[in-house]
């Protein structure tokens, strides 16, 4: 209804204005007055509508703002001036009625686009009517209808609208973001999302155009030159760090400065790759049970498991040793007694004499020398040795002891089976390699004893 | 590679020395204290058996020397070369810090790169790479001083470390068994 009315009216006015001479001025003037009253009535109607449904009712009046730069500036002024206060804008909109008189002059300041302005302008005499005509010009150019008051109100509401959208959708984000730059894309984004949502709505024409206008108008005014906001996400932080270290563009060259590290991926270095594969093969031999596994990940897995198990064994054995030795005196020479190692006794030199001869300060001990000097001494009673032995006396570790322990390997199928039962599934089967040496060590002792120990 | 027996001999020598020191210094020790002393002296002995030629041994020594209570023990076990070894280990620590900052840089680069690829073919290889990477990280955490090594050196260090651990375990086990037998008799 309103859409159609004013263009027709204007058309009539223009035609009448052109046709008639002076007489038409008066008639035009009178008609302007009539129109003003009519528009005021319209505005009052709109006001009522506004109070009923703020958001939905008068949106169709909003698209009078379409394509008008001046109003964009107004919008800009409103937004910048009062970005935080949604409530203020709301108050402004409510006060549109009494505040209209203020709004009118603002509109008067707007630079009106369109050539049609001049045509009508000639017919008007009073400044007050000029304002009114200005609004009319707005309407003609925009091909929409609404009274200038409605336009003013619409402008106010428009400024409120994006704020309302933002508040409805992401009020929290607004409060968090300090920089306006971040705000504006958010506003636009939120409006666009709302735009899509409202598309299916019955009053779709106006909201869409409204969003469009807002998206058009919002970005330009809300881009004041500002320093970049502080990084709010980890990506931005990383980027900042990267910018600072741009000189180290090639990480591999950066690493090679100190000649230490190589690039993690071996693809760039065929020699390295060869070496790596060589080492992996060696590891395969070392780590039991890796013969079947191909592929780096599986191999690494096995290696990790093995290292972990070895470390755990060390822990366990140290605990065991601590439990067995209340005083931490490890008199290895006692081990060399005939009674313990009848099989290897012949090889062991006794330490009895050495304890007397050697310096009590263990720091100066030289076990190999002692072994050499006492090699001939045999057959001394190990009990005497134990009695004479003092804790501070150095312990000589004859090479032969170790040789006999570690090199004699007497594997037997029954032995292996027993050990398997002993150690259960957690020990890798391949580790039986180490058990035969243990078997040599405790040669005379049968498996049952071992079980009890463990 | 050295013959394993010589390694074991050296280890045993130094270890017993360390243990003697521990026992002479404190007459009464709780179970846990004893265990700690045993383990510590074993570890340091093992590391010194390598004479700071490998990174893990240096890292081990430096970690052990950080604690003041262990310093005396470490010095004794290390013997006359302790000062030079300590210096070598300290420099290693500084290198680690530098490498860590480099790695942070590289990670930030790779984060950007990782987001780009998304094709099917790339997925499989990227998964494999990720697995390998995870495991190398775990291995680095296991091997002492592994945090600052490249992949290649990590493998070498792991090899050496495994050998030493093996020797350590063997010797300890034998000692434990012998002690137990002795106590029983």
Q: What is the pLDDT of residues A249-258, one digit of tens each?
A: 554 444 444 4
Alpha helix positions (H), A347-410: 352-357, 367-374, 382-388, 399-407
Give just the sign of the alpha carbon dihedral A411, A415, A419, A420.
Answer: positive
Q: Residue B184: is its pLDDT beyond 70?
A: yes
* Mean predicted confidence (pLDDT) in B99-114: 73
What's residue A255's pLDDT?
A: 44
Give just the sign of the alpha carbon dihedral B6, B12, B15, B21.
Answer: negative
What's residue A312's pLDDT?
A: 92
Nearest chain A Cα distance for residue B144, angstroms:
11
- Residue A188 makes CB contacts below 8 A (sequence gap 6+) with A214, A215, A218, A219
Calculated CA dihedral for residues A162, A168, A169, A175, nearest 10 degrees? 80
Q: What is the pLDDT of residues A267-284, one digit of tens each?
A: 567 887 788 778 877 877
Mean pLDDT of chain A: 53
Better-predicted residue by pLDDT, A351 or B184: B184
- Tell me how far apart the alpha carbons of residues A240 and B36 are, in angstroms, rounded to a whole number: 47
* pLDDT interval class at B104 (50, 70, 90): confident
Q: Residue A407: is its pLDDT beyond 70?
A: no
Q: Residue A447: is its pLDDT beyond 90?
A: no
Supply φ then ψ for residue A379, to 5 degrees. 85, 5
Q: What is the pLDDT of residues B18-61, one digit of tens each?
A: 777 766 666 666 777 777 777 777 777 777 777 667 777 777 77
Report the 3 state secondary structure along A16-56.
HHHHCCHHHHHHHHHHHHHHHHHHHHHHHHHHHHHHHCCCC
* Mean predicted confidence (pLDDT) in A432-444: 42
* Mean predicted confidence (pLDDT) in B123-152: 83
Interface touch B158/A275, C-beta < 8 Å: no
Better-predicted residue by pLDDT, A286 or A78: A286
Alpha helix positions (H), A327-434: 332-335, 352-357, 367-374, 382-388, 399-407, 413-423
The structural domains of chain B, with segments of one domain joined by +, span 4-184
Provide the CA B43 distance to its chain's centre, in angstroms. Answer: 8
Gyration radius from chain B CA atoms:
20
Given a contact cutoff of 8 angstroms between Cβ atoms, the answer to whether A76 and A166 are in contact is: no
Q: Which segment of A73-77, A437-441, B137-141 scores lowest on mean pLDDT?
A: A437-441
Mean pLDDT of chain B: 74
- Residue A198 makes CB contacts below 8 A (sequence gap 6+) with A204, A207, A208, A211
Q: What is the pTM of this model?
A: 0.42
Given a contact cutoff of 8 angstroms between Cβ atoms, the answer to whether B72 and B22 are in contact is: no
Q: What is the pLDDT of residues A259-270, one digit of tens each?
A: 444 445 545 678
Minimum Cα–Cα distance from B163: chain A residue: A286
ipTM at complex level: 0.82
Q: Residue A8: is its pLDDT beyond 70?
A: no
Q: Which residue has the tokens 């004041």?
A: A224
- Residue B118 makes CB contacts below 8 A (sequence gap 6+) with none
What's residue A433's pLDDT?
A: 42
Residues on chain A touching B99 (C-beta within 8 angstroms): 260-261
Q: Is A236 on the interface with B (CB under 8 A)?
A: no
Minimum Cα–Cα distance from A397: chain B residue: B13
* Mean predicted confidence (pLDDT) in A430-445: 42
* pLDDT > 90: percent of chain A: 1
- Tell me how far apart the alpha carbons of residues B96 and A261 are, in angstroms, rounded to a whole number: 11
What's residue A193's pLDDT?
A: 46
Q: Residue A239: is its pLDDT beyond 70?
A: yes
Interface touch A402/B165, C-beta < 8 Å: no
Residues on chain B touching A442 (C-beta within 8 angstroms): 177, 181
Residues on chain B touching A325 (C-beta within 8 angstroms): 34, 179
- DSSP secondary structure of A92-119: HHHTHHHHHHHHHHHHHHSPPPSSHHHH
What's residue A81's pLDDT?
A: 46
Residue A260 half-sphere exposure, CB side, CA atoms within 13 Å?
A: 16
Nearest chain B Cα distance for residue A219, angstroms:
29
What's residue A69's pLDDT?
A: 45
Mutate to test the interface with A, among B27, B147, B152 (most CBs of A within 10 A): B152
Q: Is A276 on the interface with B (CB under 8 A)?
A: yes
Q: Residue A361: is its pLDDT beyond 80?
A: no
Given a contact cutoff of 8 angstroms between Cβ atoms, the answer to whether A50 and A153 are in contact is: yes
Query: Which of A254, A275, A402 has its CB closest to that of B102?
Result: A254
How is residue B173 written in tokens? 């086990």
Q: Is A327 on the interface with B (CB under 8 A)?
A: yes
Q: Residue B173: is its pLDDT beyond 80?
A: yes
Interface touch B182/A335, C-beta < 8 Å: yes
Nearest chain B Cα distance for residue A72, angstroms:
39
Minimum Cα–Cα distance from B73: chain A residue: A363
Nearest chain B Cα distance for residue A238, angstroms:
6
Minimum Cα–Cα distance from A269: chain B residue: B152
CB pairs under 8 A between A and B: 206
Better-predicted residue by pLDDT, B76 or A372: B76
Q: Residue A112: is its pLDDT beyond 80?
A: no
Q: Which residue has the tokens 């919002």?
A: A218
What's residue B163's pLDDT?
A: 87
What's residue B90's pLDDT?
A: 64
Q: Which segment of A234-243, A323-332, A423-432 scores lowest on mean pLDDT?
A: A423-432
Q: Which of residues 391-450 of A touch B (CB under 8 A)?
A: 391-392, 394-395, 397, 399, 402-403, 405-407, 434, 437-438, 441-442, 445
Residues on chain A touching B126 (C-beta within 8 angstroms): none
Interface touch B12/A402, C-beta < 8 Å: yes
Q: What is the pLDDT of residues A120-141, one digit of tens each?
A: 444 444 444 444 444 444 444 4
* Mean predicted confidence (pLDDT) in B73-84: 62
What's residue B92's pLDDT?
A: 61
Q: Which residue has the tokens 């009923």?
A: A52
Interface touch B185/A282, C-beta < 8 Å: no
Q: What is the pLDDT of residues A70-89, one digit of tens each?
A: 454 444 444 444 444 444 54
* Mean predicted confidence (pLDDT) in A202-217: 48
């Amino acid at each position: 209804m309103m859409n159609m009315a004013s263009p027709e009216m204007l058309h009539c006015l223009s035609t009448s204005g052109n046709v008639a001479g002076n007489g038409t001025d008066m008639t035009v003037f009178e008609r302007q007055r009539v129109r003003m009253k009519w528009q005021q009535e319209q505005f009052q109607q709109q006001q009522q509508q506004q109070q009923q449904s703020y958001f939905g009712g008068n949106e169709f009046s909003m698209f009078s703002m379409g394509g008008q730069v001046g109003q964009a500036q107004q919008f800009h002024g409103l937004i910048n001036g009062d970005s935080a206060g949604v409530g203020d804008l709301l108050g402004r909109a409510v006060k549109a009625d009494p505040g209209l008189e203020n709004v009118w002059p603002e509109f008067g300041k707007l630079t009106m686009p369109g050539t049609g302005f001049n045509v009508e302008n000639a017919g008007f005499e009073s400044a007050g009517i000029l304002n009114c005509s200005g609004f009319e010009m707005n309407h003609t150019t925009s091909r929409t209808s609404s009274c200038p008051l409605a336009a003013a109100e619409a402008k106010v509401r428009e400024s409120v609208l994006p704020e309302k959208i933002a508040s409805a959708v992401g009020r929290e984000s607004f409060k968090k973001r300090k920089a306006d730059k971040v705000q504006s894309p958010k506003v636009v984004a939120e409006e666009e999302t709302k735009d899509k949502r409202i598309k299916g709505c019955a009053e779709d024409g106006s909201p869409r155009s409204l969003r469009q206008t807002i998206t058009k108008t919002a970005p330009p005014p809300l881009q004041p030159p500002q320093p970049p906001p502080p990084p709010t996400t980890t990506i931005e932080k990383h980027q900042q760090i990267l910018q600072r270290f741009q000189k180290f563009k090639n990480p591999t060259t950066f690493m090679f400065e100190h000649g230490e590290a190589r690039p993690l991926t071996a693809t760039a270095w065929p020699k390295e790759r060869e070496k790596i594969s060589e080492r992996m093969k060696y590891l395969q031999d070392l780590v039991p049970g890796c013969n079947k596994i191909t592929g780096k990940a599986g191999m690494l897995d096995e290696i990790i498991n093995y290292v972990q198990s070895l470390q755990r064994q060390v822990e366990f054995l140290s605990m065991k040793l601590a439990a067995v030795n209340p005083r931490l005196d490890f008199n290895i020479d006692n081990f060399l007694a005939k009674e313990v190692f009848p099989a290897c006794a012949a090889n062991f030199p006794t330490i009895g004499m050495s304890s007397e001869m050697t310096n009590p300060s263990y720091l100066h001990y030289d076990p190999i020398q002692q072994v050499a000097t006492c090699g001939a001494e045999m057959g001394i009673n190990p009990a005497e040795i134990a009695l004479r032995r003092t804790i501070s006396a150095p312990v000589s570790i004859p090479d032969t002891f170790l040789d006999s322990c570690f090199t004699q390997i007497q594997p037997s199928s029954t032995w292996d089976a027993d050990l398997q039962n002993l150690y259960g599934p957690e020990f890798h089967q391949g580790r039986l390699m180490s058990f035969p040496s243990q078997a040599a060590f405790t040669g005379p002792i049968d498996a049952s004893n071992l079980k009890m120990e463990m | 590679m050295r013959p394993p027996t010589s390694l074991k001999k050296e280890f045993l020598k130094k270890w017993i020395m360390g243990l003697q020191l521990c026992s002479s210094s404190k007459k009464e020790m709780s179970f846990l204290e004893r265990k700690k002393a045993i383990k510590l002296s074993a570890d340091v002995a093992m590391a010194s058996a390598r004479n700071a030629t490998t990174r893990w041994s240096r890292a081990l020594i430096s970690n052990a020397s950080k604690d003041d209570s262990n310093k005396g023990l470490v010095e004794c076990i290390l013997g006359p070369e302790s000062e030079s070894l300590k210096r070598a280990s300290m420099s290693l620590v500084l290198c680690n810090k530098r490498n860590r900052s480099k790695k942070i840089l590289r990670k930030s680069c790779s984060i950007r790169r990782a987001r780009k690829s998304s094709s099917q073919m790339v997925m499989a290889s990227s998964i494999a790479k990720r697995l390998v990477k995870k495991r190398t990280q775990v291995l680095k955490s296991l091997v002492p001083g592994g945090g600052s090594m490249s992949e290649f050196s990590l493998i070498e260090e792991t090899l050496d470390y495994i050998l030493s651990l093996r020797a350590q375990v063997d010797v300890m086990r034998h000692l434990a068994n012998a002690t137990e037998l002795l106590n029983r008799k």
